[in-house]
Chain A
Amino acid sequence: MAEIQDKITQLCPQAQVDTTGEFPLVTVDDAQWHDLARALKNQLHYDVLSAVVGMDWTDALGCVYYLTNTSTHELLHVKVATTDREQPRLHSVVDLWPVANFQEREVYDFYGIVFIGHPDMRRMFLRTDWVGYPLRKDYDPASNPLRLEDETNEDYTCRWVEDENGKVTKVDGKVFEDDEYVINVGPQHPSTHGVMRYRASLDGEIIKKVDVVSGYIHRGIEKMCESLTYPQMLLYTERMDYMAAHINRHCMCLCVEKALGLEVPRRAELIRLMMDELMRLSSHLLSYGCLTMDQGATTAFFYGFRERELIYDIFDRTCGARMSMSYSTIGGVVADVHEDFIKDVRHACDVIEKNLAEYHKLFTGNVIAVNRMTGVGILSKQDAIDYAITGPSGRASGWHCDVRKTNPYSLYNEFDFDEVTYENGDSMDRYMVRMKEMEQCIKILRQACDKLEAEGIQGEYIAPKVPKMMKLPAGHWYQQVEASRGAFGVYIESDGNTKPVRVHFQSPCFNLIGVVDLTCKDNMIADLITITASLDFVIPDIDR
């Protein structure tokens, strides 16, 4: 850590580096931030901008940037603040990390911080006629009643430009030119997998540009978390990416446990890990079903759902619910596993393994599938890193980004499994990564079954001393896990009370919509559906 401190002070003498926390924290003024960011990226290889967390510290507004080093997988966070509440302005880092495009728009939407140099400063999730900025501490909820009239003014955008003298001016622009042929897809469309909306500009059948309009399921989870205690917050983690419910909840538990210094029984951690892998299996099966259905293979959809029911039954027996299980809790899991748990998991593994061959036979080699997916929607490795595309979609581009391997959490370093990567980064590879990952899930589950059997089928499942009143020590806490669709992160800022000051969820799907435009460009309009299906995002995870 001291090494990094020296390097950063060398790069930017004005920056303050604090190494007392979990990760080094750099505090820098907005004036030096852009230069420091460039140096961090080009000289120290902090290639991935994992998260941009908007903040309201009451006396100041600002952002916390989480950077990941691609070679050492170390994390670093940078705090940039401004005290101007009337016209808060920071410099954009879109030119360095393209993923910042949507991330900064989100911060603008929630906190009203304008990013100088950002090409498209529009609202991200809220209505275009929204008044005020909801995540500010002084926001009045009464200022925005339910309105049933349609949104207007969605074609216009603006950007703030700084000239040599440091004078900032606003430049208006349009999303699409007047003579462009624009097709609207969604929010009510079966192939958007929820309520996503794309506006695609076409030249004949070729897509020229896709404008992603999000926010049709934005529920303000982050704001609600600020008025809840830590155990209460767990509820929302399951309702973002409901196809990674266990994993998200696990992440939140790990983050709070880390902050509290709570020791979790090994057996509980093992059960959580098994649930995570079952969830991943279930998620990839759904992804298979939806991707195939979007290409007209309805039978394959039924196959995928047939196996998912096996997993649902396991959840049902142990957790008492099919979805939104609420099983992990701070300190362990809420109840012990069902006595037939291991038997059921082994059975599910056997059945799914056998049927995976059938899936390939049914769909993978099919001429339609091959033609519609091979070489379509290519995402290069560099683009995947620039846009922070983690998870199966990132690994399809050849980027080794599995958090289970790079920053092992839980008990993953005890398990023998491979990180599946492909090279081309097209729709086919993204599909294949998921299919191969299911085999790895089964491999992990079988090992976990043996371990759990060795440790006793029933036993200790929760830490003996879990505090009733949970007060996190003041500071920042950040935890990443590998969810079904990529790296999921939880950021908690605490001031030492029972309720947090700020909670941010870094969702993998939010980054995925950033590459919709990139991957769809110069492809056919019909491929928009296959490409987005192969990226496989869950809309409530994007909108939160």
Chain B
Amino acid sequence: MDFSIFGVQSTTLAITAALTGVLLVVGALVIAWLIGPRSYTEKKGEPFECGIPTRGDSMAQYHVGYYLFAILFLMFDVETVFLFPWAFRSGLCLEERSVEMEVKIKSMKHEDFKDNEYIDNLVEQLRAGGTNIIVGKLDQLMNWGVSNSLWPLCFGTSCCAIEFMCLGAARYDMARYGFEVARNSPRQADYIMCQGTINYRMAPALKRLYEQMAEPKYVIACGSCTVSGGPFKNSYCVVKGVDEIIPVDVYLPGCPPRPEAFFYALMQLQRKIKVQKYFGGVNRKEKLEGLKYVKEETK
């Protein structure tokens, strides 16, 4: 066994490969299958995410030139894969490990915001039932992860969207809390921040987008229009609050709310996530509900 790659013994390599390639991947898949909440609807299976039902065949003929382009692209892509190990070996990348920084993101302290009865009640309910220490710790770990990397779906229909953009810009900088990666596809997003009026034409599109999101998913109704219809309540074509269409987790009033209020709402959502239970059947229940929903749809 004197065979080595980049100076590493092949036995070590084999063990590493087995660990990373098999154990971690299979392990992650199994764990996700066991505890990940899921929901199934027909709309979730559609190939496009623009809010409109997909029509026609998405398989279409392209000009042969595009294939050539794709092959060239792939070639350069593959090259970069080999570039990194080579760069490390040859000492081009001198700084191999960046300094590990420990950033503690402080959520809202309970003493500062005692106004959310809903979450307090939820916590009390959970405490009353008692929690297994292992399961409880695992839940905490999950929730810590989920609540600190909430990715929003870019869904701004009107004025509130401009304030949301300010939130993303340098002064308010929502990246500090892990909210920065605004996704354009609902499949990659964790929550919809519904900014702006929803009217009768938009309602089916919003519903579709919500259903296309992966579990666990949350909704923040941002601005008076989405909370209750706001100033447009008396209109002939405005939905009087998005909770008529999709379940809402946090209501954020304002016309439009200030960026500080956005943070408040996002932290409320974090608090709500922090008391979530993944272990112990919650996800299974959701799954069954989802299946029931599909059956009703197909009927």
Contacts and interface: CB of A to CB of B under 8 A. Distances in A.
Interface of A: 125-127, 134, 139, 141, 144, 146-151, 181-182, 184-190, 194-195, 197, 204, 215-221, 223-224, 227, 235-236, 239, 242-243, 286, 289, 301-302, 305-306, 308-309, 312, 322-324, 539-540
A224 B202 CA distance: 19
Given A147-B200, A305-B170, A309-B171, A217 B158 contact: yes
Given A184-B50, A235-B231, A223 B236 contact: yes
Q: Is the interface of B mostly helix, strand, loop or mixed?
A: loop
A539 B158 contact: yes
B207 interface: yes
Contacts of A144: 200, 236-237
Interface of B: 48-53, 56, 60, 63, 154-159, 161-163, 165-166, 169-171, 184, 186, 196-197, 199-205, 207-209, 231-232, 234-239, 244-245, 255-256, 258
A306 B168 CA distance: 11
A264 B158 CA distance: 32
Contact of B159 (A186, A190, A223, A324): A324
Contacts of B186: 188
Contact of B258 (A182, A197, A322, A540): A322
B201 A306 contact: no
13 contacts: A126-B200, A146-B239, A148-B203, A150-B208, A185-B50, A216-B157, A218-B199, A223-B235, A235-B231, A302-B169, A323-B159, A323-B163, A540-B158
Which of B155, B159, B184, B196 has the largest number of chain A CB atoms within 10 A?
B159
Nearest to A219: B232
A216 B239 CA distance: 12
A312 to B, nearest CB: 8
Contacts of A243: 162
B255 A324 contact: yes
A309 to B, nearest CB: 5
B202 A308 contact: no
Given A216-B199, A323-B163, A139 B236 contact: yes
B185 to A, nearest CB: 9
A306 B232 contact: no
Contacts of B163: 322-323
A305 B166 contact: yes
Contacts of A188: 49-51, 155, 184, 186, 205, 209
A195 B239 CA distance: 16
Contacts of A286: 162, 165
A243 B199 CA distance: 21
A149 B166 contact: no
Nearest to A227: B234
Contacts of B204: 147-151
Contacts of A221: 232, 235
B132 to A, nearest CB: 41
A235 B234 CA distance: 14
A130 B57 CA distance: 28
Contacts of A186: 50-52
A35 to B, nearest CB: 37
Given A126-B237, A219-B232, A189 B184 contact: yes
B60 A184 contact: no
A539 B202 CA distance: 13
Nearest to A306: B170
A235 B209 CA distance: 31
Given A134-B237, A223-B236, A242-B162, 4 more contacts: A126-B201, A146-B244, A216-B157, A540-B159
Contacts of A134: 236-237
B200 A146 contact: yes
Nearest to B230: A239
B162 A323 contact: yes
A306 B158 contact: no
A437 B180 CA distance: 32
A127 B258 contact: no
A242 B270 CA distance: 30
B237 A148 contact: no
Nearest to B255: A324
A111 to B, nearest CB: 14
A230 to B, nearest CB: 16
A236 B231 contact: yes
Given A181-B60, A239-B159, A539-B158, A216 B235 contact: no
A438 B171 CA distance: 22
B234 A184 contact: no
A194 B204 CA distance: 16
A219 B205 contact: no
B170 A195 contact: no
Contacts of B169: 301-302, 305-306, 309
A185 B52 CA distance: 9
A221 B53 CA distance: 28
A293 to B, nearest CB: 9
Given A187-B51, A218-B201, A242 B159 contact: yes
Contacts of A306: 169-171
